[in-house]
Amino acid sequence: MKERYENLESFEVNRAYRHWKGKLYYVHGLAVHTETDEMMVYYQTLYGDRSFYVRPISQFTEKVPLDREAENVTGQLYRFEPYDFE
């Protein structure tokens, strides 16, 4: 159980995040997968039809893959990073 909480110290909910490919998302909250006990991020697109998705927090907070740096239009270090509208 402790493992699922170790990445949460600096993770914020109820805020916008930008994906390394440039699109914006809004994180509504966190949830626990009932079968695997894995911590999941519940988020929404801020474009198009504003769909909702879930993704493991480990994927949400991982670094941009080195072999995909050419696609990294934002220059971000992490897959999703907090975004403040200016």
pLDDT tens-digit profile, the chain (86 residues): 344 445 566 789 999 999 999 999 999 999 999 999 999 999 999 999 999 999 999 999 899 988 888 889 999 999 999 999 87
- pTM for the predicted model, two decimal places: 0.84
The CB-based long-range contact list for 40-43 (8 Å cut-off, 24+ gap) reads: 43/17
Residue type, 60: F
What's the chain's length in residues?
A: 86
β-strands 39-45, 52-56 pairing = antiparallel
How far apart CA 57 and CA 12 sit, in angstroms, is: 12
CATH number for the domain including 70? 2.30.30.320
Q: Which domain holds residue 13?
A: 2-82
pLDDT number for residue 2? 40
pLDDT number for residue 23? 97
Which two structure tokens, joined as six digits, stand for 77?
A: 């270090």
The helix/strand/coil state of 58 is helix
Phi then psi for residue 67, to 5 deg, are -75, 0
Number of domain units in the chain:
1
